[in-house]
Structure 1
Amino acid sequence: MIYFDNAATTAIKPESVGKTMSDVLTSGHFGNPGRDSSNYSVNSSLLVEQTREKIAQLFNVPSSDFVMFTSNATDSLNTTLKGLLKPGDHVISTNYEHNSVIRPLEQLRRNNVDIDYVPFDTETGVINIEDFETRIKSNTKAIVCTYASNVTGYVLPIDNIGKLCKKYNLLFIVDAAQSAGFIDIDIQKQGIDVLCFTGHKSLYGPQGTGGICLKESLPIEPLKSGGTGIDSFNSNMPDEFPTRLEAGTMNVPGIAGLYEGIDYILKYGLNNIRQYVIGLTDEAIDGLDKYPEVKIYTPRTGLRTGVIAFNVGDLNSAEVGQWLWDEYQIANRTGAHCAPKVLESFNLVEQGIVRLSFSSFNTSEEIKVFLGAMEELIIEYRKEI
């Protein structure tokens, strides 16, 4: 089997991820972090804090206190958007967004939050800064956007958007689900006020992990409230971060796995991993380029991730994806990819898009198998038209 669905979840992880998670669960040495003075609690608290520091190092967060753990990027985005945006506010987003941004925003629209979506050029993939600036109003509070498209792999001009937010004193909220662990992120240098990330993709952590990183303290109203182990007689959540956004028992085994995933990235070098994965992506795109029946939606110029989005003639994307799995056991993703505005922009609501996404555990040999499979598929397609 060949796994090319890493933009959804990296199924193949560093061995240390599973081993460390197993140790936490089976050693009998880890209890609830921050709840008592026993070694069981101290062991977990130390592990959690070490992971906060590792995340702060990766994203240049000013303090590990500004790193909050969540269950995934969707959880992070819901907490952030619903905790910061109020009735009467205006927010600008893009047509590249995943439903983890669109759906919370549209839910807030029903609570009188005004929303504008910036389009992108379907020929080049480019999204223009001017299109953000022309939409700014007197009540605009924030720009929220993905760092990179989960469908095409296009990387948005985050640095320039951050400068625009600084110019107009807007909050900059970034969905880093597709970029964390793959692209250098510096929230201080890039002017990112809130970075929302997940652990189970390019950070090589387990499902059920994610987080929120802040450049500075913000008045985020907690989405969830409950036990924190401190300030127990206060009927409200504590004001201090990270406790303010971390109600309930923490996912200590998952956080341990996330630590190991990030450690793998820092050990081998984020730039080294990215260059290797982009090399695989280029190899696959070059192979597909020779077929006139193949339409590639991933831009060839500018920054991009290890994603290829394509279609074969008028074949439904689901047919292509199913054939790749049935005939060659190549795992891929088809359809709308939870990014409806991308599909609408390309007029592909019915056909969908086939997506391949690579990680550092994929190989050139696997790319060659895929290209051989595509040659066979296209020969069959030509016979039918």
Structure 2
Amino acid sequence: MRIFRNSTAEYLLIISARYGQLPYRALRFLSLPYETAKDAFQKLCRAEYLEVVKAPGHKSFFLTDSGYEAYLQTMMKDDDLLDWEDFPDKPEFTRNVQKAIRLSRINEAQMFFFFLGLAPYRTSLEVKREMEQKAARSSDNLKYSRFAGVTWRGQQASLVYHFGNGNQRLNANGERNAAALFSDYKHPCGKFILTETEKGIVDVLGYSLWALNKSSRELRHMQLNYHITYEDNAILLPLTKDAGDFVWAFRHPHWPQTIQRLGEDARPEEGIFLSTLDGTWMDVLVYLSEAYTTDMPVTFAVWDIQLPILWELTRRGLLPDGWRVVSYQAGDFCRGIPPF
């Protein structure tokens, strides 16, 4: 197969070489018409430059040896001054379904933060490799951790988790050890929880609401899926192109002040006011857990990417009807236009 310069096929080879094995759905992150990307993808598969791993509920792809060679040759044509040593090694891949799910999620999270959110990022694989180089057994503390990577905003580190299409069970000790890696930073280590769809976020919220209504004694001997707590009020994000704008805005030095100002602008003169503009949902869970029977109106301040979460909460009967909303677009922050 001939790879033309600046073609969609070339673009897909570059993405595959840069990020490694990815879920098929990651093609929607690209700045290309989806049908165009799909056609080029199928041609690369027929040429055996890309290979697909399929299972119920999973489809990922990786760069083959011949695909990697085609990538190198294409890049050398673009600039004759480049040398073979200027290119990264062929990325890791696996045909094992369970390992493919894990690896493709790690790489998709990196693509989301680095490619869409323009945020500094290291994958959990890179972190573990660095630890192994520093001390032979230092990475043992991470063996049970399921974090996908880490990103930063100034001195604040945030662990990133990719839950796929629903909630996930985590090993508590492993996650504490993962957070302890970044204990030398000046601020507490936060968390980002990524899901493929907004319904996955509602799964986390619904389970968190159930756990919030249980006493510590009731939960003591139970193996729990991930649930939001006061101490671990993670940021929840769907894996969409628009959510990449949230990450970009989150890194802005004026983020805290802007969030506070937008919340104040949206606050009604009376009634209950709840804001999820900082990406967290603990205040909403507390409101729902107290089973309000008052007729006082409820107003939300949200990003437009969070609106489907409110609709799904209402559809499932977790959120009462009749709420009001003031929504903003995170992309406005990125473009530097009002209200920012």
TM-score, structure 2 as length reference? 0.36
TM-score, structure 1 as length reference? 0.33
Q: Which has the higher contact order (CA 8 A, sep 6+)?
A: 1
